[in-house]
Amino acid sequence: MHEIEPYYNWLNFYNVAEDPQSPYHGKEYNHDLYSETIYGYYIDPAWDFMGSETLYIKILFADYDRGFSIIEFIGEWNDTINNDIMHLKRNIIDHLLINRINKFILIGENVFNFHGSDDSYYEEWFENVEDLDEFSESGWIAGVNFPDFIIDELKNYNIDAYINLGGTLQFPRWRTMMPYQFFNQIDKVIRYRLGS
């Protein structure tokens, strides 16, 4: 697991530690020290702790003018025991919402398991992106490249009512794109799905 790194090639465009509006502004990374673990397995030091012992993230890109963020995940998404969605919503998403982000691309190809529970935080997040403020267009949440069995579990807990998943959002070549190209492709898919 320690060999799975968050995507680095967009660091020239965006660095979460250098973004004054980021929840990780000023964080210093020691790429020689492996200290964070998921179930006893060390993970790459570039992943960021967001309150969960089993799920880590990396904000790969954020544009506050266009109102979108791209977040990569690693680990087990466990709402049953760790209430991971609460940690994500309160520690990261709420911070981004305050800074007028209302379109979220969640990259889930390194999510290994999902254990669902109550969907109230997902519902709250969905309502937040729909009605961020009077000046913003309606937002959305897109889950990209989640494994099929994870999508099935998310659907079992009705999470697909809040997060767009599967089908044309399985986008294996996203790393070949620049961040704006990637966002534009996902935005196009979501607009098509929403009929706008």
- pLDDT tens digits, 129-186: 988 666 668 899 999 999 999 999 999 999 999 999 999 999 999 999 999 999 999 9
In the structure encoding, which two tokens stand for residue 53, read together? Answer: 């012992």
- Of 67 and 195, the structure prediction assigns the larger pLDDT to 67
Q: What residue numbers bound the domain in which 187 lies?
A: 50-194
26 found inside a domain: no
Q: What is the pLDDT of residue 135?
A: 62
The stretch 85-101 carries a mean pLDDT of 97
2 found inside a domain: no
Q: What is the pLDDT of residue 131?
A: 81
Cα–Cα dist 109/191, whole Å = 23
Share of the chain above pLDDT 70, in %: 96
CA nearest neighbour of 142 among 79, 189, 180, 99: 189
- Considering its fold, how many domains does the chain have in total? 1
Q: What is the pLDDT of residue 115?
A: 96
Q: List the CATH number of the domain containing 189.
A: 3.30.750.24
Q: What is the pLDDT of residue 170?
A: 92
25 found inside a domain: no
- The mean pLDDT of the chain is 94
151 found inside a domain: yes
3 found inside a domain: no
Alpha-helical segments (H) within 56-116: 84-88, 94-98
7 found inside a domain: no
Q: What is the pLDDT of residue 136?
A: 67
Q: What is the pLDDT of residue 23?
A: 96
In the structure encoding, which two tokens stand for residue 15, read together? Answer: 């660095």
Please answer whether residues 17 and 58 qualify as being in contact, where contact means their C-beta atoms are separated by less than 8 angstroms.
Answer: no
Place of tokens 């320690």: 2
Q: How confident is the model at residue 193 (pLDDT cuts 50, 70, 90)?
A: confident
Considering only the C-alpha atoms of the chain, give the largest distance between any 2 of them, rounded to a whole number of Å: 48
Q: Residues near 41 by Cβ (< 8 Å), separated by ≥ 6?
A: 1, 2
Write out the E strands in the chain. 37-38, 41-42, 48-49, 55-63, 68-78, 103-115, 140-144
In the structure encoding, which two tokens stand for residue 112, read together? Answer: 């290994």
The stretch 105-109 carries a mean pLDDT of 97
- pLDDT tens digits, 46-61: 999 999 999 999 999 9
The model's pTM: 0.95
78 found inside a domain: yes
77 found inside a domain: yes
